[in-house]
Structure 1
Amino acid sequence: MEFTSAAAEQRFDELVAAADRCVVGLDFDGVLSPIVDDPARAHIHPDAQQVLVELAEVVRAVAVITGRPARQALALGDLDAVGAELGEHGKELFVFGQYGNERWSSTQRRVISPRPPHGLSTFERDLPAVLRRADAAGAHIEEKGLAVAVHTRRLPDPVAARERLLDPIRELAERHGLVIEPGRNVIEVRSPGMDKGHAVRTLVAEQDAGGFLFAGDDLGDLDAFAAVEELREQGLPTLLVCSLSEEESALASRADVLVKGPEGVLDLLRQVARRAD
C-alpha cells in the first residue's frame, strides 16, 4: 500500500475515524477478482468474502459497483452468501451491475433491471463488419443483456487492436443511440445516462453516508472517482484507491492510495476494518 501524498495519508486516518458512517464501493474485476482472459472465469479472490464480512461490521454499507451483469458478479463472487452472512450482523450488501443499470441488495435478493436499450440488437448485427474492417475479427464479443463488450485481450496485440477499434465502434454506437465505455483491453457499448458515479451518489443519498471509500482499476471507474471527489469538496471523509496494473494507469494520478491488484485491495480493507474496530 502506497499513499500518494501526506494529505492522502491524512484522508485515510479521517475515513477510518468516521468508518461507521462510511460506505465502501468496490469494482469487481481487478479489485476483488484478478483480471483473466476469459471474463466468465474471473472468480473472486479466495480471501475476499471474509474480508468483506469483517469490513461490513465497521462501516455503514458495502457495495460492489461493476460493469458486469449483476447476476454474473453474484455468481462469480458468491455474493449472495456474503450478503446472507452480513444480514446476520444487521448489515446490507449491494451490487450495482452494468454501471448501475442493474441493482441487487441482500435484503431484497432480486435483481432489478430495465429493458435492453433500443438499438442494441441492430448494433450487434452491424458489429462483425466493423471488426473485420479493423482487422480484429477474432475479438471476443460478450453479450451482457443491457450492453455488449468487445474484448481484444485474446488478439496478438490487444492494446493496438483496441486503439484501432475505438473510433469505428464509437461511430457505430452513436448511430444506434448508444455510448462506449473503454476499459482494459475492452470496449463496452451501452445506453447513455448511467455510470458508476451515479451509483455512488445513489448510495450516499440512500444510506445517508458520512463518507465514501471507492476502489477501482480501470477507465470505467473514472466517473466513480469524480463523484467521490465531489463528496470530498463537500467536506466528507473520502478515500480513492487505485488497484494498479501494467495495462491501465488512468486512475493512479487521482488516487490517494496505490495497491497491487486484489491482494493489495484486500490488505487495505483489512487495515480499515482492524483500525476502525
Structure 2
Amino acid sequence: MTPSQIRPHARTPGLPVASTALFLDFDGTLAPIARRPTEIENNPSLNELLRQAQLNLHGRLALVSGRDIGVIDRMIEGAATCVAGEHGLQRRTPHGEVQSLAAHPSLPDAMEAFAAMARAHKGLVVEHKSASVALHYRLAPSAEEAVLDLAERVSASTGLTLQAGSMVVELRSPGPDKGAALRAYMAEVPFRGATPIFIGDDLTDEAAFEAAESFGGFGVIVGERRPTRAQYRIAGPPRVLDWISRSLESSLFEPGDLRWEG
C-alpha cells in the first residue's frame, strides 16, 4: 500500500465518544521519540488519560505499537486492556487473550546480522522482539545506506518481511500488520459497529490509516507533513494528548480541531 499525496484539510463531522473507537500508536504519538528504545519513561499523566479514555469509551481503546506487548504494559501501567504489539504480530483481545505469531525460523540469522553491523558501527542499536528484530540508526544517521542495504539482503535471503520506519529498519516474521490488528479489533465487542480513529506517526501506521477509513473513520498523522493515507495532521505528542483530553471532556472527537498547518 502506497500512501496517497498529502491531503487538504477535510471536513468530517465530529464523532461522538459514545460511538467512537480510538486506536493509538505509542512512540512518536503518545510519547516523544527517544534516542534509544529503552530511554522512554513512564508518564503518570499519560497513563491517567488512557485510563479515562478506557472508561469513557467503554473499552473501545487499543494501543497498536511496534513494541512488544509486555513493554507497552510496563510503560502504561496496565491502563489499556487492548494492546497490539510488534506492528500486529501480537494482539491482546478485549477478553485478555494474547495472540502471538510464532517467530520465523530465520529470525536468529537476522538478529546476528544486525548485531554484527551494530558492533561495526558506533551508535546503532539492536532491538530484539519475539517475532522480529529492529536496527535503530537515529544515533548513527550516516549508516543509513549500509543499514538499509543489509536489511534488504537479509530479507531477500530469509523471507523475513522488511519494514522501514523513522530512523529504524525492521525484519519481521511475515504476518499481520497494524491495519490487520485494527480490523481484528473492529470485528470484536466492544469495538464492533463503532467508528475508528487511528493516530500514528510512522510509515508503519499507514495500513492502519487505510483500515480506519474503510470503516468510515479517519487517520491522524503526528508530526511533519508527508504523503499519507491519514486525513488529518497534528503537530506532536503533547498536542495529541491535549486533543484526546478535550475530546473526552466534550464527548465529541472533533476533527475540525485538527489542521494540516497545525
Residue number in structure 2 paired with 1:58: 56
Maintained 8 Å contact 2:118/2:125: no
Once the two structures are superposed, the pairs formed by residues 96-175 of structure 1 within 5 Å of their partners are 96-105=84-93, 107-108=95-96, 111-128=98-115, 136=121, 138-155=123-140, 158=141, 160-175=142-157
Once the two structures are superposed, the pairs formed by residues 66-81 of structure 1 within 5 Å of their partners are 66-78=65-77, 80=78
Residue number in structure 2 paired with 1:88: none
Query: Partners in 1 of 2:221 and 2:232 — Cα distance?
Result: 6
Change (3 A) 1:139 1:267: same
Maintained 8 Å contact 2:89/2:100: yes
* Unaligned runs of at least 5 residues, structure 2: 1-6, 253-262
Maintained 8 Å contact 1:203/1:209: no
Change (3 A) 1:6 1:145: closer
Query: Partners in 1 of 2:43 and 2:234 — Cα distance?
Result: 15
Q: 3-state DSSP class of the match of 2:174? A: coil
Residue number in structure 1 paired with 2:220: 241
After TM superposition, the structure 1 stretch with the greater mean CA deviation from structure 2, 62-71 or 141-150, is 141-150
Aligned-residue RMSD, C-alpha: 2.4
Once the two structures are superposed, the pairs formed by residues 184-263 of structure 1 within 5 Å of their partners are 184-206=166-188, 207-231=191-215, 236=216, 238-245=217-224, 249-250=225-226, 253-263=228-238
Query: Partners in 2 of 1:138 and 1:6 — Cα distance?
Result: 39
Query: Partners in 1 of 2:21 and 2:69 — Cα distance?
Result: 19
The Cα of 1:107 is off from its aligned counterpart by 4.6
Q: Per-residue CA shift, 1:36-76, capped at 9, x if unaligned?
A: 11211213544212222222333251000001011011112
TM-score (norm: length of structure 2): 0.83
Query: Partners in 1 of 2:38 and 2:98 — Cα distance?
Result: 19
Change (3 A) 1:176 1:71: same
Query: Partners in 1 of 2:135 and 2:244 — Cα distance?
Result: 32
Change (3 A) 1:47 1:5: farther
Query: Partners in 1 of 2:8 and 2:113 — Cα distance?
Result: 47
Q: Per-residue CA shift, 1:146-185, capped at 9, x if unaligned?
A: 1110010122xx1x42244223312212211101111111
Q: Per-residue CA shift, 1:234-258, capped at 9, x if unaligned?
A: xx2x23211115xxx446x543332
Change (3 A) 1:163 1:223: farther
Query: Partners in 1 of 2:116 and 2:127 — Cα distance?
Result: 16
Maintained 8 Å contact 2:9/2:232: no
Change (3 A) 1:34 1:138: closer
Maintained 8 Å contact 1:218/1:250: no
| Larger fraction in helix | 1
TM-score (norm: length of structure 1): 0.78
Residue number in structure 2 paired with 1:274: 249
Matched residue type, 1:244: G
Residue number in structure 2 paired with 1:182: 164
Size of the aligned set, in residue pairs, is 243
Query: Partners in 2 of 1:128 and 1:208 — Cα distance?
Result: 42
Stretches of 4+ moved more than 6 A in 1?
none
Matched residue type, 1:59: L
Maintained 8 Å contact 1:43/1:77: no
The Cα of 1:117 is off from its aligned counterpart by 1.5
* Unaligned runs of at least 5 residues, structure 1: 84-92
